[in-house]
Structure 1
Amino acid sequence: MKKPTSLPLFSTYEYDSRFYDELFEKNKEIRDIYKTLFNLFGTYSVNEFDRLNEQAKASFFNLGITFQVYGENEVEEKIFPFDLFPRIIGSKDWEVIEKGVLQRSKALNLFLWDLYHDQKIIKQGIVPLDLISSSDNFLSKMKGINPAGRIYNHISGTDLIKHSDGSYYVLEDNIRCPSGVSYVIGNRKAVKHALFGVFNQYNAHSVMDYGSHLLETMESVKPKGVDNPVCVIITPGVYNSAYYEHSFLAKQMGVMLVEGRDLFVKNGFVYMRTIYGPEKVDVIYRRIDDIFIDPLVFNPDSLLGVPGLFSVYKKGNVTLVNAPGTGVADDKAIYTYMPEIIKYYLDEDPILNNVHTYHCSRKKELDYVLKNIDKLVVKPVDESGGYGISIGNRLSKIEIEKVKETIKAAPRKYIAQPIMSLSTHPTYIEENDSFESRHVDLRTFTLLGKDKEFVLKGGLTRVALKKGNLVVNSSQGGGSKDTWVLKK
């Protein structure tokens, strides 16, 4: 096959052999899976592509696809940054990813059931008791409660990277309130609108059916004795960073989006206030943290939750998605035990590997971390959104000493990992009018219900828009791409 000619949009693209480049082979040939896309993009001049890029941004603006960033003194609402050059994942790679994230979700669900019941994994010395009892997200009030369908993590988000060796590794598991799926669907809409002819050249799986699968998952875990469950999404309100997603998913599923003040408890059931009078609610997809869901049981100052909600949940008269207390399993300290957890509950080896992780509560590992911070990424075990991360080779000597003191003050709260070589992907940089390589990761979305499992075929590819940056979160200046998973 004739080698593709150099394209103006890629004229300044720099191939870096230290990382796995998803567009170029090591010999700088275009990977087969991208050749059609690369040649199609070559038909655009810089001016034409700029126009398409502006159309895509306008599409996001008109759809209200935004997120909020919390600074020290203000809250800023931003249009979600989006790159038009999609990421492509072949069917063989996806088969491994899908099986791997489903395996992790199932194992974590069994782990949660065990933690809140017999705690066999602790009694057998596989996971230490103090790791669980010291977790801020372990909810002792959940002990002995049997969630409908025995499901805790109905919705899981698994973050993956592709390393320089070409293999996928799991960075972390998110099973409290994993967000971002609305951007997956928004990205697809924007790409199909701006690049319809390009998209049709590839046989990619749809991502537009997520809402129907989510609703089916929720309905599958309805309380006993309910035939046609009423499902709702509860949101903290318009000032929440993910409010766009809450409203988007409610619309996708055709269910009501409510706040705590819209619900009340009476005679052991939850009701929703409507213009036609009270309506019983059976399943609640909650986007509110545990501590705020019921002021009578948890934080008495909470104005976000519903007084009495937890007592109804304990009786089995309402289902909460995800279940309270799931956060203990996405604690980054628990992540270090995932290979053992998978083996214990499923009698299987992990399909997807963990990144080697040091937990600072262990003396030997703490000593190693303190001596090698310049080679490590240090993360708080209970933060999300990229907050609190320290990348050692970006720190000054003074900053390294500050990180050391922070870790030593509370070792349980920190883990450390080697600085991984996240794969790179071509990303359009507006100020340079050309494509440049930027680091990416992938968040996948898995649904578990009663006799139902589903992995969305096309996750959220997140992009670190700053050159050389490894933090891809939108709250830290990252953007996203559409992700095409190809059919066989």
Structure 2
Amino acid sequence: MAKKQKGIFSKYDRNPKLFDELYDQQGEVNDVYKKLFKLYGQHSIEDYAELNGRAKASFFNQGITFRVYSDEKTNEKIFPFDLFPRIIGADEWAELERGVVQRCKALNAFLWDLYHEQNILKDGVVPMELVGSSENFLEQMVGFDPPGGIYNHISGTDLIRHTDGKFYVLEDNIRCPSGVSYVLSNRTALKRALFGVFNHYNAHTVTNYAENLLDLLETVKPAGVDKPNTVVLTPGMYNSAFYEHSYLAKTMGVELVEGRDLYVENDFVYMKTIHGRERVDIIYRRIDDQFLDPLEFRKDSTLGVPGLFAAYRKGNVTLANAPGTGVADDKAVYTYMPEIIQYYFGEEAILHNVPTYHCSRKEELEYVLDNIAELVIKPVDEAGGYGISIGNTLSPEEIEEVRNTVRAHPRKYVAQPIMSLSVHPTYIEETQSFEQRHVDLRSFALMGSDREFVLKGGLTRVALRRGNLIVNSSQGGGSKDTWVLKKSKKNAG
């Protein structure tokens, strides 16, 4: 029986069947949250509503928005932010961080192998046809050594906590993982609204991300360059993540450019400025592979730079992330991550996958087709929550439609059990109360030629609609600040 609380949590209805981050199974507040629970309890719901309004206004004034695309129209929205943070203890975070780093290194080793000897394919650990049929495998990258041997300089690993209390990896993102700017903005907004509360906890900073990003990018600068010139390449202001592109460029202290701001001459990349041209050595690109260079990929692309890939192949510019990384964050390849880690490192995976069926395997396809109502069906190469079907929310007609789609294109789909993501108290404006909402966690890891860095915080994403399991902002989700605690007595409740 859920315990009734006073104050702003008086209407909070705790479902004991779900893993609640705030409460233990007996309905008692978890130790790391006790002080926070007490401090928030000193506010009335009216006070909290006012603070929430101020945070929204702050996001609006700073232009912290994202774009949602649909068949009918495109909307720009303020990124929903909840002022009640998620807390992760020091020991638990240490294990997550080790697992994330292990995974990022394994993906990098896998990419090197795929574009060189392909031993993992020859040894039958990962099927040859799986890579050969991937739209994200770039023949142009075969035999090329990226600077420092790094492909996935920036990685986003999506984690969920199940009802058993354990974290699982939901998917890997190593093409152009987004969301880190919201991590930094969330921290700023919370500290402005509730600095007195934040000051009671000894949490790691997240404001060191940009400096670490720039430092690690500079470790993979082209040979012969002493002081590299770095830029962020954006598709432009109409991209859904443009706020992030501009924010990261500003916080790194580098130029934000579009393809039209750059040109290639004699296999070197230059930026146009009012003072004349400047050589560009490192490009943190937020443009998909196929749009990078119309001379090499899509000829109709106006977003990229003609000749850019040739300059990259000559070693005169570094691209982060490297082209062709998408073959490794294919959700079908994800199913082999435990084997990939074992193959390259001789280790067990620290973080476990969510059980996953790949529909290109005949026996697994048959199981999926017979059990769609109990599964989540995902396209292997989509992002942002697009194309996902959650079986128990579908009508019989919709299930049949999904079944026909999967049967027609089995290579393009995977299926997973409907995992019950953990829940976290979240302020809901419509009811002016705290309610349980499902959350996940996107961690951000950086790799350079000499070290790795994992942001001690990550993006806790919230499915704001009651019962919804899809947390992506493009599907109506929001976010929370995430506090990773240092090992300190001050963190005791």
> Normalized against structure 1, the TM-score is what?
0.99
SS in 1 for 2:381: coil
Give the C-alpha shift of residue 26 in structure 1. Answer: 1.1
Give unmatched runs, 5+ long, in structure 1.
none
Give the C-alpha shift of residue 209 in structure 1. Answer: 0.5
Confirm or deny that 1:203 pairs with 2:202: yes
Cα distance in structure 2, aligned partners of 1:361 and 1:446: 30
Cα distance in structure 1, aligned partners of 2:17 and 2:118: 44
Q: Counterpart of 1:39? A: 38
Cα distance in structure 2, aligned partners of 1:137 and 1:268: 25
Q: Deviations over 1:233-277 (max 9, x none)?
A: 000000000000000000000000000000000011000001110
Cα distance in structure 1, aligned partners of 2:124 and 2:23: 47
Give the C-alpha shift of residue 74 in structure 1. Answer: 1.2
Tell me if structure 2 keeps the 8 A contact 1:8–1:434.
no
Cα distance in structure 2, aligned partners of 1:346 and 1:235: 36
Cα distance in structure 2, aligned partners of 1:71 and 1:403: 20
- Amino acid in structure 2 at the alignment position of 1:379: K
Cα distance in structure 1, aligned partners of 2:35 and 2:95: 24
Tell me if structure 2 keeps the 8 A contact 1:439–1:464.
yes
Cα distance in structure 2, aligned partners of 1:166 and 1:46: 30
SS in 1 for 2:190: helix
Q: Counterpart of 1:191? A: 190
Give the C-alpha shift of residue 6 in structure 1. Answer: 2.1
Alignment of 1:25-36 (within 5 A): 25-36=24-35
- Amino acid in structure 2 at the alignment position of 1:354: N
SS in 1 for 2:273: coil
Cα distance in structure 1, aligned partners of 2:59 and 2:486: 27
Tell me if structure 1 keeps the 8 A contact 2:68–2:474.
yes
Cα distance in structure 1, aligned partners of 2:348 and 2:16: 31
Give the C-alpha shift of residue 358 in structure 1. Answer: 0.2
Cα distance in structure 2, aligned partners of 1:47 and 1:401: 47
Cα distance in structure 2, aligned partners of 1:190 and 1:316: 41
- Amino acid in structure 1 at the alignment position of 2:186: N
Q: Counterpart of 1:55? A: 54
Q: Counterpart of 2:137? A: 138
Q: Deviations over 1:271-328 (max 9, x none)?
A: 0001110100000000000000000010000000000000000010000000000000
Tell me if structure 2 keeps the 8 A contact 1:18–1:421.
no
Q: Counterpart of 1:391? A: 390
Give the C-alpha shift of residue 11 in structure 1. Answer: 1.7
Q: Deviations over 1:131-166 (max 9, x none)?
A: 001001011110011000000000000000011001
Alignment of 1:245-260 (within 5 A): 245-260=244-259
Q: Deviations over 1:442-484 (max 9, x none)?
A: 0000000010210000000000000000000000000000000
Give unmatched runs, 5+ long, in structure 2.
488-493
Cα distance in structure 2, aligned partners of 1:261 and 1:452: 34
Cα distance in structure 2, aligned partners of 1:18 and 1:443: 24
Give the C-alpha shift of residue 401 in structure 1. Answer: 0.2
Confirm or deny that 1:344 pairs with 2:348: no
Confirm or deny that 1:158 pairs with 2:157: yes
Q: Identity over aligned residues, as a percent?
A: 68
Q: Deviations over 1:159-193 (max 9, x none)?
A: 00011001000000000000000000000000000
Cα distance in structure 2, aligned partners of 1:189 and 1:383: 31
SS in 1 for 2:170: strand
Tell me if structure 2 keeps the 8 A contact 1:21–1:425.
yes
Tell me if structure 2 keeps the 8 A contact 1:271–1:280.
yes
Confirm or deny that 1:365 pairs with 2:357: no
- Amino acid in structure 2 at the alignment position of 1:93: E
Cα distance in structure 1, aligned partners of 2:345 and 2:139: 25
- Amino acid in structure 1 at the alignment position of 2:450: D
Q: Deviations over 1:5-50 (max 9, x none)?
A: 8223212211112221111111111111101111111111111111
Q: Counterpart of 1:128? A: 127
Q: Counterpart of 1:469? A: 468
Q: Counterpart of 1:13? A: 12
Alignment of 1:83-102 (within 5 A): 83-102=82-101
Tell me if structure 2 keeps the 8 A contact 1:100–1:351.
yes
Cα distance in structure 2, aligned partners of 1:92 and 1:452: 22
Q: Counterpart of 1:108? A: 107
Tell me if structure 1 keeps the 8 A contact 2:7–2:42.
no
Cα distance in structure 2, aligned partners of 1:375 and 1:199: 41
Cα distance in structure 1, aligned partners of 2:208 and 2:63: 20
